[in-house]
Amino acid sequence: MKPKKNIALIAHDHRKMDLLDWAEYNSEILSDHNLFGTGTTGKLVSEKTELPVFRFKSGPLGGDLQIGTAIVQNEIDVMIFFWDPLQAQPHDVDVKALQRISIVYNIPMACNRSSADFLITSPLMKTKYDRFIVDYSQRFKKDFDAE
């Protein structure tokens, strides 16, 4: 990762105001990075902070999957995803896939304000960082070779 990070900003409907408040509070730090967001969230963050946000489609229309693809292609470095733990999501499978791919590719991920605060203020946000990525293909090969 370069010192200027590519940060994905995502929030479910009932968490959008939380993310907007957090983004406004941290707008000075966020201005040093490239911001990406799902449809409505990206638009709202851009309007609230006056920062440019590249927008993918809305989450339920494929935006979560687009961000997952960007992670796989090494185009997203950090993900701030304020998801709603109390509301069922019609695209829950996509949300879980996005969280899974973030873990597979060792992307720093924050799902609430406290973890987002710790993440965004880390000294590592301002420096080059060599992210370790597990070679799962080798692990799968070992599992099959053991049989």
Residues known to be catalytic: 64
Question: Do residues 36 and 54 touch, judged by C-beta distance below 8 A?
Answer: yes
How far is Cα 57 from Cα 41, in angstroms, rounded to an integer?
A: 10
Up-side HSE of residue 61: CA atoms within 13 Å toward CB?
7
Cα dihedral sign, 117-96-33-3: positive
